[in-house]
Amino acid sequence: KNEVEQSPQNLTAQEGEFITINCSYSVGISALHWLQQHPGGGIVSLFMLSSGKKKHGRLIATINIQEKHSSLHITASHPRDSAVYICAVGGGSNYKLTFGKGTLLTVNP
């Protein structure tokens, strides 16, 4: 069973700061996902990556397969970035996801 650890659990930042959220997993995977969950519950997929780096706007995700580690970076953070960010790793015949506990990010104006 894959263990997914995220850090930090909670993160408070001032608007404009550079944010990093980390994710480590224990077993080899097909892909790693970064998800965003706003209050109210809905989950949006931000990135799915199996190697290297991806960028979308102010968000950057990196993964190191050898070290079984991924990071999500947010540049020039904004209060609307406040949400729970969830790391999940996927694999297997049904492509099952195993989730981390999430990181609650609060960006203050």
Whether 45 contacts 32, CB under 8 Å: no
Q: Does 48 engage in binding with other proteins (CB under 8 A)? A: yes
From CA 39, how far away is CA 79, in angstroms rounded? Answer: 13
Q: Looking only at residues 63 through 102 of this chain, which bind other proteins when binding is defined by CB under 8 A?
A: 86, 88, 90, 93-102
Residue 100, Cβ density class (10 Å: 0-12 exposed, 13-18 middle, ≥19 buried): buried
Cβ-based nearer residue to other proteins, 17 or 49: 49
Binding footprint of other proteins, residue count (CB under 8 A): 25
**Chain positions contacting other proteins, by CB under 8 A:** 4, 30-31, 33, 35, 40-45, 48, 86, 88, 90, 93-102
